[in-house]
Structure 1
Amino acid sequence: MAKIKKKGTSGQAKNYITRTQAVRKLQISLPDFRRLCIFKGIYPREPRSKKKAAKNSTPNTTFYYTKDIQYLLHEPLLRKFREQKALSKKIARSLGRGEVGDAARLEKNLAPKLSLDHIIKERYPTFVDALRDLDDCLSLLFLFASLPSTTSVPPKTIARCQRLCHEFQHYLITTHSLRKSFLSIKGIYYQATIQGQDILWLVPYRFVQKVNGDVDYRIMATFVEFYTTLLGFVNYRLYTSIGLVYPPRFDSASDERGAELAAFKLESKNVGQLKALEQPTTNGSQPSNEVSKEIQEKVDEVVKSAGLDQGTDNQVAEDQTTNEYAIDKFEPAAPEADMLPQPDGSESEAGSLFSSFTFFISREAPKAPLEFLLRSFGCKRIAWDEVAGEGAFTNDENDPRITHQIVDRPPLPESALPAVPENTSGDSGRLRRGGRIPGRTYVQPQWVWDCVNEGKLLRPDIYAPGATLPPHLSPWVKATRGGYDPRASLADQEEEGEAERAEEVEDSESEDDAEDAKNTGEDEDVEVDEDEESEMEDDHGMDVDGSEESDSNEEENDDFDGFDDAAEVASESEDEDETLRSQHQKELEAEAAGLPFSGSANGSSAKKSSSKNKKYQAQKRKEEEELERQKMMMSRKKRKLLDKMLYSNKKKDEEAQKLRSKRRKIENAAKSKV
């Protein structure tokens, strides 16, 4: 006879454990249990049958894996939590006795310090694992770096988050690892590539943040405590991998004066080795692989005298320089084929995009993200006003070395500009507020983001102050065939006859609105007549025999679908007769008034548009009928799959059509204004 199994000793009842049972087993409080689960990366699970897992009839229960809770029994942080609980009891006892000094001494000297180093090593055995989990870490730390200090968010936490984020930004600037950025409603998205791993994070805009009471900042503070430890490990590894000293030198005084990134000074570990390598080339003899200047000059003279330097050598040199670091571009074999993903530019190209320019950031432009982007893509000289803080290349807006100025306000007319200051001190180069310096390029901030995403310098005149900017699209969303593309013209995206059909719909809507407006004045009279008729019916009305039969006959006629073609032909002929009569009447009225009549052209155009619309509807009906015939030959599984595909494609087409109609209305309104 087989052994009888005891209930609750196998299956889901053994594999899962409730949160209450887990807290009792670990002998800690519920907040400490939450902290421990966040540190260790343990989260609730959903069993297939809650009734079997709970061993009772209470469905609303949080479950964990039993093995995970068993793994937590050997965690060293449990001892720290218990020590902290014992210390809190001693402090409460001292405060109850009125011994405030003893309570402060206990809190200062005996408070246990939590170390999460061993947890970081357990959760991320390799450095690539830590880089893959860096997206949420950076988003949360950049968020806390922009929050105001409150009781729930202490200033020490904010300062630590700011320092770690600036250190990470300095690594991206040094290695030119930043690839793309996007301005969205939520904030600014950044993407960097570090050791082959794409890291995407979100940085909020620098507005005044309101700390609401709806958010549980205790749980978020636990995540911040873990992520600060993680980012500290990552920054140390990144800095040491490129030969920099970590942590970098930090000037707190300049940081208080608004220096931000300029408050950090990077130092290299191999400075002595670099100097030793440079000394033989500068002070000592030349290396054997280099040619002396005298020999090179003699060779150049011989080549010029022989005429060998014309054409071929220059072409070979140009081909070598252009093709040595050129990136292959994959082009589709057919015009309707899918676009292959193009490779990104190298670090040298990304590091030299803005290297030859000197930028001046105006006071109204966002300095922090612009400085980070410009420095990440090679710009060494960035200037701004003294109000924005320290660390600028220069604070003089009239500096002739400035080539580009980022302005985020429209240009003012000459009448609105202040008067030119009198030249009393001999300062001839002083500029009045709102003026323009000749020879300098003025652009809006979006030009920097679009150049970064495109990987090349775009035309600055399109981004001039006050100009209508081109659409700022996400670099991670690729244009699909049949979808709406804001950069392309409407003529390239519209279907055949789509604009004409949209105009017909708009005209019909406008006519309906006009008729409604005309009928509003007649509604009162109609209501009075209806009231009188109802009174007459109440006084003298009689039911006519056969009225029910007539109603049933009407319903039968509505249900009957036969003779569609004949009905359509009759309706079309009636419509044509009505249009001819109205056109003839308008001609007579215009002739009597002595005015020219242009209704024939309108009537012909209306006939053409209506005929095109009817042809489009007929063609669409034929395509649907053909598709239904093809679906009849498919199996049920393939038919359902095809229906899902058609439904999703129809939704996408409708969304694209709505966006095109909105753009068409905007363009028509702009043309009418002009």
Structure 2
Amino acid sequence: MAKIKKKGTSGQAKNYITRTQAVRKLQISLPDFRRLCIFKGIYPREPRNKKKASKTSTPNTTFYYTKDIQYLLHEPLLNKFRDQKALAKKIARSLGRGEVSDAARLEKNHAPKLTLDHVIKERYPTFIDALRDLDDALSLLFLFATLPSDKHVPPKTIALCQRLCHEFQHYLIVTNSLRKSFLSIKGIYYQATIQGQDIMWLVPYRFVQRVNGDVDYRIMATFVDFYTTLLGFVNFRLYSTIGLRYPPKFDTRSDENGAELAAFTLEGRTVGDKPKAIEPSKGQTNGSNKEVSKEVQAKVDKVIKSAGLDQTKDEQAMDTTEESTDAIDRFEPTAPEADTLPQPDMSGNEAGALFAPFVFYISREAPKAPLEFILRSFGCKRIGWDAVMGDGAFTHDETDPRITHQIVDRPQLPAESLPAVPAASENAVQKVKPGTRIPGRTYVQPQWVWDCINDGKLLRADLYGPGATLPPHLSPWVKPSRGGYDPRASLAEQEEEGEAEMAEDVEDAEDSDEEMADDAAAVNEKPAEESEDESVDGGMDVAGTDDDESDSEEGSDEEADEAFGGFEEEAASESEDDDEAARNQHQRELEAEAAGLPFSSSGAKDEAAKKKTSQSKKLAAKKRQEEEELERQKMMMSRKKRKLLEKMMHSNKKQSDEAAKLRSKRRKLEKGEKGSQK
């Protein structure tokens, strides 16, 4: 007889463990268990069958892998958590006895310090793994760097996040690793390429943040502790690869004055170190070395010339090939109907030379921090701003003749509404009246900087002038698909065949319906006396008369006849339309003759209407043929392929409908703008 298996010893019941069981097995509190799971990267799991995995009848149960919890038993952080718990008991005992000094001493000198170095090494065996997981870390640290200090968020944590974020930005500036950026509702998205890895993060706008109590800041603080350790390791490795000392020098006084990025000073590892001189060997002097080297070099040159191996030409050829390989290849489509391949981004040299020859001045109303970071990342070395915005500027004088571009974000106002500028003293910087333009300088709005770096080239500055209607700011990561709406392209390039004519016909029909409705409303508006007379004489009809019934019967017979139509209905309708059009044209010619006008002016509208009707009929017939052909093809398909085709057609139709709706809105806007200009 086979041995009976005990319930809960195999299968899902053995592979999964509940959170309560895990906490009891590790012998720690629930908050410490959460912290430990966040540090180690262990998350709840969902079993296939909760009834088999759970030994209880509780439906809402959090499960973990049993192997993960078994792995946590040997974690060194468990001892730190237990030491913290023992210390908390000692402090509570001292406070209960009234020994406040002993409690303060225990908290200051005997508090165990958590180190997450070994956790970082375990979770990220290679540096590429750490770079791949850097998106969430940067987003969270940039968020905490903008939060106000509170009881939930201590100022030390905010200062640490700011310092690490500025160090990372300095690396991007030095290496020109920033590639794209986008202004969204949530904040500013950035994308950088570091060692072949694309890293994207979100930086919130610098508005006044309100810390709500809905967020569990204990869990957020745990993530911040882990991510600050991770970013510190990453920054050290990145600085070491380019030969810079880490951490860079930090000027606290300059940072308090609002310098931000300018408060850091980067230094190389060999700065200030004298290179070691090479000692000559015994029995030789410096002069003999020089003479020997000259003699040897002359002999080598003779041998090379005699053999015909001249290296200068080869070196020049190598240099030209190296210069040619620096440029990034572009993938051109071989056919117009072929798929468009994603183009590679710009190289570091191109990014470093985009704004290199310019000197920028940031006005007070423009966002200084993101503009400074982007401009420096793309090669600009000299950036100025007003002294109110902080230290670290190239110049605080707005009238400096070296400034080539000024970034403004306020519209042009009349001179009468501008305030007067107070007279400046001799040592003070000369003030410029708001709204004035210095000749020889290009004024642009901040969006010009973002659009230039996303396109990889300098765009026309006149389209981004002060007070101008800006072009659409599109996400650089969303490419326009085939059949979709592209705001940058013109309507003529995106419209389907006959779409504009059909839209005009619909608008004309809507206008005619509105006119008929207005006429009907005017006819229905009668004086009160007439309406009273009609109500007295006519009264209210309760039932229809015999004449009405006969009329309704005749109408129903006519409707039935019209519903059948016959086989030659289309040809007959076309001939009737032609006859009616001819009669209308003849009538208009007679009216034009009586008015003394030429016939051509009256017949032009008729011809245009005829063309429109013929085009619409041709388009309808073509569409009908395509639908019939598609139905015939679907009949030859299997059921599975037919279902797949219907899904594809549904998604394509949804996309085309959205694009057509956006095109119609744009068409109305352009029509309204043209009407206002007239």
Fold in common (TM above 0.5): yes
Question: What residue is the counterpart of 1:64 in the other structure?
Answer: 64
> 640, 662, 666: which one pairs with 2:665?
662
Question: What residue is the counterpart of 2:310 in the other structure?
Answer: none
CA distance in 2, matches of 1:360, 1:627: 61
Question: What residue is the counterpart of 2:641 in the other structure?
Answer: 638
How much has 1:672 moved relative to structure 2?
A: 0.8
Change (3 A) 1:172 1:541: closer
CA distance in 1, matches of 2:203, 2:481: 28
Question: What residue is the counterpart of 1:160 in the other structure?
Answer: 160
CA contact (8 A) 2:398 2:430 kept: no
Change (3 A) 1:400 1:275: farther
Give SS of 2:401's match: coil
How much has 1:574 moved relative to structure 2?
A: 7.2
What is the one-letter code of the residue matched to 1:378? Answer: G
1:239 partnered with 2:239: yes
Give SS of 1:360's match: strand
Question: What residue is the counterpart of 2:501 in the other structure?
Answer: 500
CA distance in 2, matches of 1:95, 1:519: 89
CA contact (8 A) 1:421 1:432 kept: no
How much has 1:355 moved relative to structure 2?
A: 1.6
Question: What residue is the counterpart of 2:256 in the other structure?
Answer: 256
Give matches, 1:304-383, under 5 Å: 323=324, 325-383=326-384
How much has 1:251 moved relative to structure 2?
A: 0.9
CA distance in 2, matches of 1:124, 1:250: 29
> 626, 631, 634: which one pairs with 1:628?
631
1:107 partnered with 2:110: no
Question: What residue is the counterpart of 2:459 in the other structure?
Answer: 458
How much has 1:229 moved relative to structure 2?
A: 0.8
Change (3 A) 1:586 1:233: same
How much has 1:157 moved relative to structure 2?
A: 1.2
Question: What residue is the counterpart of 2:299 in the other structure?
Answer: none
Question: What residue is the counterpart of 1:46 in the other structure?
Answer: 46
CA distance in 1, matches of 2:535, 2:31: 72
Question: What residue is the counterpart of 2:654 in the other structure?
Answer: 651
CA distance in 2, matches of 1:93, 1:586: 108
CA distance in 2, matches of 1:201, 1:533: 79
Deviates more, 1:356-365 or 1:479-488: 479-488
CA contact (8 A) 2:397 2:429 kept: no
Give matches, 1:132-143, under 5 Å: 132-143=132-143
How much has 1:516 moved relative to structure 2?
A: 4.1
Change (3 A) 1:586 1:416: farther
Question: What residue is the counterpart of 2:7 in the other structure?
Answer: 7
CA distance in 2, matches of 1:531, 1:274: 113
Deviates more, 1:111-120 or 1:608-617: 608-617
1:608 partnered with 2:618: no
Question: What residue is the counterpart of 1:306 in the other structure?
Answer: none
Deviates more, 1:571-580 or 1:256-265: 571-580
CA offsets 1:392-431 (integer angstroms, 9 cap, x no match): 0111111111121112222334555567988996999874
CA distance in 2, matches of 1:317, 1:439: 43
Question: What residue is the counterpart of 1:216 in the other structure?
Answer: 216
What is the one-letter code of the residue matched to 1:628? Answer: E
1:389 partnered with 2:383: no
Question: What residue is the counterpart of 1:301 in the other structure?
Answer: none
How much has 1:442 moved relative to structure 2?
A: 1.7
CA offsets 1:634-660 (integer angstroms, 9 cap, x no match): 112222222222222112211221221
Question: What residue is the counterpart of 2:296 in the other structure?
Answer: none
CA offsets 1:248-290 (integer angstroms, 9 cap, x no match): 111111111100000011111112468779xxxxxx99x99xx
Question: What residue is the counterpart of 1:399 in the other structure?
Answer: 400
Change (3 A) 1:638 1:531: farther
CA offsets 1:539-595 (integer angstroms, 9 cap, x no match): x77999999x979x899959x975476555666677778888888999999999999
CA offsets 1:591-616 (integer angstroms, 9 cap, x no match): 99999997754454344323322332
How much has 1:124 moved relative to structure 2?
A: 0.5
Change (3 A) 1:317 1:116: closer
CA distance in 1, matches of 2:188, 2:566: 59
CA offsets 1:227-255 (integer angstroms, 9 cap, x no match): 11110111111111211111111111111
How much has 1:171 moved relative to structure 2?
A: 0.7
How much has 1:518 moved relative to structure 2?
A: 4.8
CA distance in 2, matches of 1:331, 1:399: 45
Give matches, 1:411-490, under 5 Å: 411-416=412-417, 431-490=432-491
CA offsets 1:359-416 (integer angstroms, 9 cap, x no match): 1111111111111111111111111110110000111111111121112222334555
1:33 partnered with 2:33: yes
Give SS of 1:336's match: coil
Give SS of 1:17's match: strand
CA contact (8 A) 1:258 1:390 kept: yes
Change (3 A) 1:572 1:56: farther
Q: Could you tell me which runs of 5 or more consecutive residues in structure 1 were left unpaired when the two chains were aligned.
A: 278-283, 289-314
Question: What residue is the counterpart of 2:621 in the other structure?
Answer: 618
CA contact (8 A) 1:363 1:385 kept: yes
Change (3 A) 1:593 1:530: farther
What is the one-letter code of the residue matched to 1:43? Answer: Y
How much has 1:333 moved relative to structure 2?
A: 1.0
CA contact (8 A) 2:592 2:602 kept: no
Deviates more, 1:325-334 or 1:84-93: 84-93
What is the one-letter code of the residue matched to 1:163? Answer: R
How much has 1:105 moved relative to structure 2?
A: 3.1
CA distance in 2, matches of 1:670, 1:276: 74
Percentage identity across paired residues of the two chains: 73
How much has 1:320 moved relative to structure 2?
A: 7.3
CA distance in 1, matches of 2:427, 2:147: 47
Question: What residue is the counterpart of 1:308 in the other structure?
Answer: none
Give matches, 1:55-134, under 5 Å: 55-134=55-134
Count of paired positions: 639
Change (3 A) 1:498 1:91: same
CA contact (8 A) 1:350 1:377 kept: yes
Change (3 A) 1:276 1:326: farther
Change (3 A) 1:500 1:82: same
CA contact (8 A) 2:396 2:429 kept: no
Change (3 A) 1:57 1:506: farther
CA distance in 1, matches of 2:140, 2:132: 15
How much has 1:498 moved relative to structure 2?
A: 0.6
How much has 1:145 moved relative to structure 2?
A: 0.8
How much has 1:27 moved relative to structure 2?
A: 2.0
How much has 1:632 moved relative to structure 2?
A: 1.2
CA contact (8 A) 1:444 1:465 kept: yes
CA distance in 1, matches of 2:26, 2:90: 22
CA distance in 2, matches of 1:533, 1:630: 66
How much has 1:87 moved relative to structure 2?
A: 2.8
Q: RMSD over aligned Cα, in angstroms? A: 4.0
What is the one-letter code of the residue matched to 1:472? Answer: H
CA offsets 1:201-239 (integer angstroms, 9 cap, x no match): 111111112222222222212111111111011111111
CA contact (8 A) 1:51 1:58 kept: no
Deviates more, 1:199-208 or 1:51-60: 51-60
Give SS of 1:271's match: coil
CA distance in 2, matches of 1:521, 1:390: 71
CA distance in 1, matches of 2:52, 2:563: 58
How much has 1:341 moved relative to structure 2?
A: 2.5
CA distance in 2, matches of 1:413, 1:420: 15
CA distance in 1, matches of 2:153, 2:138: 17
Give SS of 1:397's match: coil
CA distance in 2, matches of 1:26, 1:527: 90
